[in-house]
Amino acid sequence: MVEVLDRPLPRPADASYVEARLLEALVEAHLALRFLREGLVRNAADKAFQAWKALLATLLRLELERLKALVRTEEERRWLESKAMPRVPAAKMKSLSRLLEEVGHGGISLWTDRALDLHDYQHHGPDPSGELSKYAAREDAVADIKSVLQELARRVEALKSRVRWSDELERVLEEVKRALGL
């Protein structure tokens, strides 16, 4: 399954782009859960963040035309298409999530904030002082990793009717849900 992450990513204009990014999100989620089982919480936090980022890329592609209609300038529209969607820069994830909320993806900003907190945890680990990480203890990070992955699985499953759904996507989604106890 990990070999999925080494496949070349299709161009965003290709019909297979959405399926590839969804599969990436699920494989990253699966790896996060594996790392949790092995006690590698910081690595799991990174994989959960990467999974969420891939989900955002999927949603940005699916909603691209609606998002482009929301922004004010042609430069912003070009940026959405050429940079935001394919790269999903961490520094722009909050504003991109707010745009996604405007086109109907309710609550995604709060989940993106949590994924960004996990990204910080991956770099700094637990920090009882709260200066470098929002997590005083690894158990807090574990709880958020699991909740982000549960939300990711829920959102991916909700997209079934909007995307080309493959047997591979179904299999990996079921594995993630099983590992989460869903």
Q: DSSP letter string over 90-141? A: GGGHHHHHHHHHHTT-TTHHHHHHHHHHHHHHHHH---TTSSS-S-SSHHHH
What is the mean pLDDT of each successive set of 10 residues along the chain, which is 182 residues long?
Answer: 66 85 97 97 98 97 96 95 92 97 98 97 90 91 98 97 94 97 89
| Domain spans, the chain | 2-180
Give residues with Cβ within 8 angstroms of 98, minimum separation 6.
Answer: 109
pLDDT at 110 (0 to 100):
98
| DSSP letter, residue 181 | T
pTM: 0.94
pLDDT of residue 12: 78
List C-alpha distances in Å: 138 to 40, 117, 144.
10, 13, 10
Eight-state DSSP code of residue 67:
H
Q: What region, left, alpha or beta, does residue 118 occupy, with left being phi > 0 and alpha being psi -120 to 50 degrees? A: alpha
Please tell me the predicted confidence (pLDDT) of residue 130.
83
